[in-house]
């Protein structure tokens, strides 16, 4: 089997490529020409995959890649995937996240191998926006009163969500109109040690890692620090302006937003299962649990033995969204029943894995003072 992955350098692309290699696939990954190396997440598998230069916004290029490499499966994970950024760059977000998908669908539609190609599109729980389904009675053995599933209407709240929803609808239209095997995974938030550093979970765990390494470097603990300053934590006895003796606090936006957070490794498995079905369909992929950003902070700080993080976090309006999605909790019942998919990594484990990874990396960058 041969798969082409658009977006192989991203978080999900890297895990999906690993999974497909394990399953014996030939993997072709499409990467953009940029001035810096973007292959860090896939550096360990580079010798085993074929990298081809391409950009999803270039229709001719997309068509040529599909014609040249003759894939059995195409996974589109490429997107401008940051919701906050989509408010400042709505046009670019539309070009990549929506129009790019049309380029792939058109290439499949006119391919002489149309019947032999299976296509996966990365749709998103962001498409639900502020909407949810509400029930009075507990369902599926849990007291879920507010949730989103395949029947919940979409009410997108950001340029990103509008682009994803347009692409989602286009996938359905091409599936129904041209008999293309095209499926969409409506994936809820999934994170990992490879998550982009400006998404909230990784921003938190990266900060925790740097903070722990900084304390170890100066051989101090949380009890030795002063945090009265608005912007920084510092080591008393040193003057505040001394180089290195202060550490910038973690600046975040809305801590009350709730997300259904799983691990990316579990979620790429669901993508593959969708493509392996007899007929194409759309599936919600989620854990069925929602937690606030505040709760993620609790778990991340607990993982390094800090029970109260309030002195270290500053609320900064810069990180508020023009329009927020307050509550996402997915019911993955269809994926469980029809795909046999269940997530394995819990919320607590996810936070711990990410923190442990980021502490380890930060310590390597900043060894103890006495070890230098």
What 3-state DSSP class applies to 347? helix
Residue 361 CB, nearest approach to ligand NAP (Å): 18
The Cα–Cα gap between 255 and 319 comes to 10
The Cα–Cα gap between 14 and 292 comes to 27
Is residue 6 close enough to count as binding ligand G4F by CB under 6 A? no
The Cα–Cα gap between 167 and 77 comes to 12
Contacting range for ligand G4F; rule: CB under 6 A; set: 80-88, 166-174, 272-280, 346-354: 80-88
Residue 96 CB, nearest approach to ligand NAP (Å): 4
Phi, psi of 128 (to 5 degrees): -75, -25
The Cα–Cα gap between 219 and 216 comes to 5
Residue 186 CB, nearest approach to ligand NAP (Å): 8
Is residue 327 close enough to count as binding ligand NAP by CB under 6 A? no
Count CB atoms within 10 A of the CB of residue 133: 16
254 binds, among ligand G4F, ligand NAP, none (CB under 5 to 8 A by kind): ligand G4F
Is residue 56 close enough to count as binding ligand NAP by CB under 6 A? yes
Is residue 5 close enough to count as binding ligand NAP by CB under 6 A? no
77 binds, among ligand NAP, ligand G4F, none (CB under 5 to 8 A by kind): ligand NAP
What 3-state DSSP class applies to 282? strand
Nearby residues of 186 by Cβ (< 8 Å), 6 or more positions away: 123, 124, 125, 127, 150, 168, 282, 283, 284, 285, 330
Residue 25 CB, nearest approach to ligand NAP (Å): 18
Residue 322 CB, nearest approach to ligand G4F (Å): 10
The helix (run of H) or strand (run of E) holding residue 21 is: helix 11-22
Is residue 259 close enough to count as binding ligand G4F by CB under 6 A? yes
Is residue 90 close enough to count as binding ligand G4F by CB under 6 A? no
Is residue 184 close enough to count as binding ligand G4F by CB under 6 A? no
Among 106, 150, 295, 324, binds ligand G4F (CB under 6 A): 324
Is residue 55 close enough to count as binding ligand NAP by CB under 6 A? yes
**Of 131, 163, 161, 162, nearest in space to 148 by CA:** 131
- Pick the closer one to ligand G4F by CB: 74 or 83: 83
**What CA–CA distances, in Å, run from 317 to 94, 125, 255, 296, 321?**
26, 24, 12, 19, 9
Nearby residues of 39 by Cβ (< 8 Å), 6 or more positions away: 9, 31, 46, 51
Binding site for ligand G4F (CB under 6 A): 81, 83-84, 124-126, 188-189, 198-200, 203, 252-254, 257, 259, 293, 319, 321, 324, 328
Binding site for ligand NAP (CB under 6 A): 6-7, 9-13, 32, 34, 38, 55-57, 77-81, 96, 122, 124, 187, 189-190, 196
């Amino acid at each position: 089997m041969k798969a082409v992955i658009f977006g192989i350098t991203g978080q999900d692309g890297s895990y999906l490529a690993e999974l497909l290699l394990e399953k014996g696939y030939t993997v072709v990954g499409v990467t953009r020409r940029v001035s810096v190396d973007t292959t860090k997440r896939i550096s360990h598998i580079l010798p085993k995959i074929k990298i081809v230069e391409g950009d999803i916004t270039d229709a001719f290029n997309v068509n040529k890649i599909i014609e040249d490499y003759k894939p059995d499966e195409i996974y589109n994970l490429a997107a401008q995937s940051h919701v906050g950024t989509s408010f400042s760059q709505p046009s670019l977000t539309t070009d990549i996240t929506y129009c790019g998908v049309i380029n792939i669908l058109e290439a499949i539609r006119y391919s002489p191998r149309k019947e032999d190609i299976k296509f996966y599109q990365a749709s998103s729980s962001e498409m639900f926006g502020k909407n949810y389904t509400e029930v009075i009675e507990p369902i599926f053995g849990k007291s879920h009163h507010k949730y989103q599933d395949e029947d919940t209407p979409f009410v997108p709240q950001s340029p990103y969500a509008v682009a994803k929803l347009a692409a989602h609808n286009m996938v359905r239209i091409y599936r129904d109109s041209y008999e293309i095997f095209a499926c969409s995974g409506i994936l809820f938030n999934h994170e990992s040690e490879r998550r982009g550093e400006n998404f909230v979970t990784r921003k938190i765990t990266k900060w925790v890692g740097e903070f722990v390494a900084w304390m170890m470097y100066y051989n101090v603990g949380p009890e030795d620090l002063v945090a009265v300053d608005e912007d920084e934590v510092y080591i008393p006895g040193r003057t505040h302006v001394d180089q290195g003796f202060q550490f910038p606090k973690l600046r975040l936006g809305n801590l009350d937003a709730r997300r259904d957070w799983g691990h990316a490794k579990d979620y790429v498995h669901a993508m593959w299962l969708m493509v392996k079905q007899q007929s194409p369909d759309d599936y919600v992929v989620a854990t069925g649990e929602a937690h606030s950003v505040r709760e993620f902070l609790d778990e991340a700080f607990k993982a390094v033995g800090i029970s109260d993080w309030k002195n270290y976090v500053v609320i900064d309006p810069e990180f508020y969204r023009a329009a927020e999605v307050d509550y996402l909790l997915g019911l993955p019942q269809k994926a469980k029943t029809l795909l046999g998919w269940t997530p394995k990594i819990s919320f607590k484990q996810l936070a711990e894995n990410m923190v442990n990874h980021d502490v380890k990396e930060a310590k390597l960058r900043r060894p103890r003072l006495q070890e230098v």
